[in-house]
């Protein structure tokens, strides 16, 4: 009986939770200094070949971060180490929603938990990277699997959004800005 309930719950959740529909890339292209595409492998003092499951933007220090898809702000967390915020937006406000968009490294938030936000609205400012550069990351997640944001561009805006991403990278990919379609959480640690 318990297995039947779990299967029904999973089916109901899958049917009632639509994929996000992305209508903005998250920043103004002219503010971007560097762009790290979904699946980029970065090296550094503590990174040792980390795979980025996000679009990561390094921008002008005061750049705006925009809402990429309509939804409710489900969670906000202050990150003491970076002195900035991480937040989660879900299209529908309900329990067991497996889809969400994670925004990482924001400051000067303009909304609070529970607020409904629309694509294109200013969510806040980029977080800190160094003295002259800001940074933010945007990723799409479903049940601990990270997906390339390009996969969720609104069909009517696909050409415009893909063109913006292509301005930021010279790499030829199957989807602009995507080295892969998705990464399970366990591959990222």
Cβ contact 136:103 at 8 Å: yes
Domain map (residue ranges) of the chain:
20-170+179-187
Structure tokens of 106? 């924001």
CATH class of 20-170+179-187: mainly beta
Q: pLDDT per residue over 166-181, tens digit each?
A: 888 866 676 788 888 8
Does residue 145 carry a pLDDT above 90?
Answer: yes
CA distance 132 to 33: 11
Does residue 149 carry a pLDDT above 90?
Answer: yes
């Amino acid at each position: 009986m318990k297995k039947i309930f779990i299967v029904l719950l999973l089916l109901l959740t899958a049917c009632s939770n639509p994929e996000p529909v992305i209508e903005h890339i998250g920043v103004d292209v002219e503010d971007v200094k560097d762009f790290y595409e979904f699946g980029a492998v970065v090296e550094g003092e503590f990174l040792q070949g980390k795979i980025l499951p996000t679009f990561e933007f390094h921008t002008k220090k005061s750049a705006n971060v925009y809402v990429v898809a309509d939804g409710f702000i489900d969670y906000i967390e202050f990150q003491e180490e970076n002195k900035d915020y991480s937040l989660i937006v879900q299209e529908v406000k309900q329990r067991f929603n497996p889809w969400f968009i994670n925004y990482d490294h924001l400051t000067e938030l303009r909304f609070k938990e529970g607020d409904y936000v629309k694509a294109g609205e200013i969510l806040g400012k980029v977080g800190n990277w160094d003295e002259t550069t800001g940074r933010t990351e945007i990723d799409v997640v479903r049940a601990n699997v990270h997906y390339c944001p390009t996969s969720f561009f609104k069909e009517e805006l696909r050409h415009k959004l893909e063109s913006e991403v292509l301005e930021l990278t010279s790499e030829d990919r199957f989807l602009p800005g995507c080295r892969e379609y998705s990464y399970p959480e366990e591959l990222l640690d």
